[in-house]
Amino acid sequence: MLSQTPVAVITVLMGLMGLTFALYYFVKSGTTTEKIPISVNYHLTRQCNYSCGFCFHTAKTSHVESLPNAKKAMTLLKNAGMKKINFAGGEPFMNAEFLGQLVRYCKETLKLESVSVVTNASKVTEKWLTRYGEYLDIMAISCDSFDEATNIQIGRGTGTHIKTVIDLSQKCKEHGIMLKINTVVNRYNFQEDMNAAIEKIQPFRWKCFQVLIVPEENGSEQTLRDARRFLINDDEWRLFYNKHKHQGCFVPESNDVMASSYLLLDEYLRFLNKGVGKPTESILEIGVAAALKDVYWDEDGFEKRGGVYEWSKSDCSGETQKPDLDW
């Protein structure tokens, strides 16, 4: 019995040493099983006044959460580590006052580093900008072409979209809001040269997405949208990329970078598993940490596409941005 004791002790010690080494490597490598939702896209509505053929978040419901519940969700996300919130749709300005209240709450009360909105620009008013613009860091305007015939073909407006984009771009400068342009590169615009228009508008960031199929949203004749006719191949994507890559604001996102690299919260406050599974339960019901365990989020892809960048007004100016400053 005595002769077996040293062996037992050595075995325990070796086990502890192995555990200690594993813990050291775990800490040193920075690996963690807990996901931190540093940047979240809240699709607060699926309703939209445009009919873009490649839309990946279609009007399958008309639900909009109550303002108290939405604020509670934003607070939960902030407490879980969120630093940036992006409000999207559908078209978020379909619920302009609801949106404004959330924008103000996230910046003024939660003091998030960045609050942004993605819009088609058609329903943004001067009254809204005057009331809520000071709480907004970034206005991302969707513009897929600087040819109105192409916009109509895509389903983005009825012929006045470019003027609307240019007008709102100027208003963003007047209100001290950082301007971003979002472009979906697809079958109808991949050959277009947008350099002159981008240089005129001067966004601080121009995000260009390769059109993406999400099977349950836009992938067949049975879905509300069928984006298959908009698809381009890798060579066509590279043609657009090479034509615009010299622009300092250019941020390209091909399908392999974009897929599953975004944390998407839907109108029911559930994280979405676009194309790979069903939504999680509402974060109001199970909490953020539990919901994140059930969502596939490509964190490497998030980093690869530059998911963290200078995303607040103070990053660009060193202080609160003044309306008369250019980006």
Q: Which residue has the tokens 């949208």?
A: 225
- Known catalytic membership, residue 249: no
Q: Where are the alpha helices (DSSP H) in the chain?
A: 5-29, 67-79, 96-104, 126-132, 148-154, 161-174, 195-201, 215-218, 234-244, 255-258, 283-286, 288-293, 299-304, 313-317
52 is catalytic: yes
- Is residue 274 classed as helix, strand or coil in its secondary structure? coil
Tokens encoding 242: 């090479």
Identify the active-site residue in 55, 143, 208, 249: 55
Q: Looking at 48, 106, 208, 249, which residue is catalytic?
A: 48
Partners of 252 in the beta sheet?
Answer: 208
Q: Say which of 52, 106, 143, 249 is annotated catalytic.
A: 52
Distance CA 46, CA 94 (A): 10
User: Is 143 annotated in the active site?
Assistant: no
CA angle 41, 44, 46 (to 5 degrees): 110
Q: Evaluate the omega torsion of the peptide bond into residue 90 and state whether it is cis, within 30 degrees of 0.
A: yes
4: number of Cβ within 10 Å: 8
Burial of 79 (C-beta count, 10 Å sphere; 0-12/13-18/19+) = exposed
Catalytic residues: 48, 52, 55
